Chains A and B, each alone.
Chain A
Amino acid sequence: KNQVEQSPQSLIILEGKNCTLQCNYTVSPFSNLRWYKQDTGRGPVSLTIMTFSENTKSNGRYTATLDADTKQSSLHITASQLSDSASYICVVSAGGGNKLTFGTGTQLKVEL
């Protein structure tokens, strides 16, 4: 069964600090891995998509890494802002790429 596990479940950091969120997956055959940001009461918004051959992808202050050998990904947030407070969801696509397996998310809170 395809599974995506994220850690930590929740995280509180001070504004301006960096943080790293983790994602482990058991999905076969692997197609791509995505990170989404979901603000409270809103739908998820795509941050990055990485295929098998890509091991790093950046989007502003967000940098995602992928290790396809160990089936792990991380999302690093630099110089956090209050607006980064959200749930960050790791999503892995198998096979043709149309069906996604979603993690349960890491709830990040950035405080002053």
Chain B
Amino acid sequence: NAGVTQTPKFRVLKTGQSMTLLCAQDMNHEYMYWYRQDPGMGLRLIHYSVGEGTTAKGEVPDGYNVSRLKKQNFLLGLESAAPSQTSVYFCASSYLTGAKNIQYFGAGTRLSVL
């Protein structure tokens, strides 16, 4: 029962470097999400996808790009990392939308940008 798997678990970048975070789910969920979690703040939605080939902006999309080429994968890219992007990133997926939308979260990727 893998559920939602995120790779890598930890990463340290220098300012200006790029990287891609990978999220994979094996539950055949249509919806996938990327959040960031910062101290003293609730999780904030970066981007989300309502199906293969679709993406949409969330609350804090600037500096990030995403792709959903396959239903089971949702990639989050940082083209030019900044210290403000130091955070813990969580991927989530859900089968339904609306009131019965239970989002299942991965274990997170802890990213530090120096």
Contact = CB atoms under 8 A, between A and B. Distances in A.
Contact of A31 (B90, B92, B98): B98
Interface residues of B, number: 25
Interface string A75-112: 00000000000000101010011111111110000000
A57 to B, nearest CB: 12
Given A43-B90, A99-B45, A102-B42, A31 B99 contact: yes
B33 to A, nearest CB: 9
B107 interface: yes
Interface in B64-99: 90, 92, 97-99
A46 B107 contact: no
B103 interface: yes
Nearest to B108: A43
Contacts of A91: 42
Given A45-B105, A51-B99, A105-B42, 19 more contacts: A4-B42, A43-B90, A43-B105, A43-B106, A44-B43, A44-B90, A44-B105, A46-B104, A49-B99, A89-B42, A93-B101, A96-B97, A97-B97, A98-B50, A98-B97, A100-B43, A100-B45, A104-B40, A104-B42
Interface of B: 4, 31, 40-45, 48, 50, 58, 90, 92, 97-108
